[in-house]
Amino acid sequence: MRLKEVALTLYFQPLDALRISVSGDYSYNWRKQDQFVSNVFYNNITRSIVGEVKQKTLRFTGRISYNITPDLTVQYYGQPYITRPLYANFAYVTSPLAKNIKDRFYVFNSSQVSFNNGQYFIDENSDGTPDYSFSKPDFNFVQFRSNLVVRWEYRAGSELYLVWSQSNTPDVASDLDSPLTKSLLNNAFAEHARNIFLVKWTYRFLR
């Protein structure tokens, strides 16, 4: 496994009562030939197909905290997020407990693998006819999440919370050709979001 990550966070506090932070994070995660793809049936044997994965993830996070008064505060959190795992170098498991990781799999060569219309076709015995197939495992996942919280301590120990939570997860699994940033900006805010509103009230009877 290999992980590379770059992150940057900026803080801005123009007033004692107002604090703003904006951050960006990009990570690249590579895993060896041990990521499960599919189970297929061949010659009365179940083949566990695995592959190498290269996964790119990009997220931006914004936070705002404003104390209108000592008893009344507003907080906001928002995060557009995208991750895209791409699979390659397919193989099937031969000896999962082998000490050397290379001995655990049989790796298909290029002449054994073909691709058409979202399906990989495997000619395991190299006779020119595909023996089995599995769906392309690559996908694109985009999501935008946000929370807005208003807290009012209307008397000592007694509080009122107003919460607005929003989540948008568009169906963009097949958007694999667009750059990460373009796919994120084009899709994170494009569809109707799921909104949740919550009111919480507490009252302290004892002084």
| pLDDT computed for residue 207 by the predictor | 61
Which position has the higher pLDDT, 163 or 205? 163
**Average pLDDT over the chain, rounded to an integer:** 93
Residue ranges covered by each domain of the chain: 2-201
Please report, for residues 38, 43, 181, 187, the alpha-carbon distance to residue 137 in angstroms, rounded to integers and kept in the order given.
9, 23, 21, 21
Please report, for residues 44, 107, 140, 156, the alpha-carbon distance to residue 97 in angstroms, rounded to integers and kept in the order given.
22, 16, 32, 62
| pLDDT computed for residue 82 by the predictor | 97
Contact 114, 123 (CB under 8 A): yes
Compute and round to an integer the Cα radius of gyration of the chain.
25
Query: Which residues make beta-bridge pairs with 9?
Result: 23
| pLDDT computed for residue 159 by the predictor | 95
- Work out the percent of the chain whose per-residue pLDDT is above 70: 99
Banded pLDDT at 162 (limits 50, 70, 90): very high
pLDDT tens-place string over residues 76-102: 999 999 999 999 999 999 998 888 888
> Stretch 94-119: mean pLDDT, rounded?
92
Helix (H) / strand (E) containing 159: strand 158-168
Helix, strand, or coil here: 89?
strand
> Stretch 192-200: mean pLDDT, rounded?
91
> Stretch 147-166: mean pLDDT, rounded?
94
Contact 85, 72 (CB under 8 A): no
Distance CA 154, CA 70 (A): 11
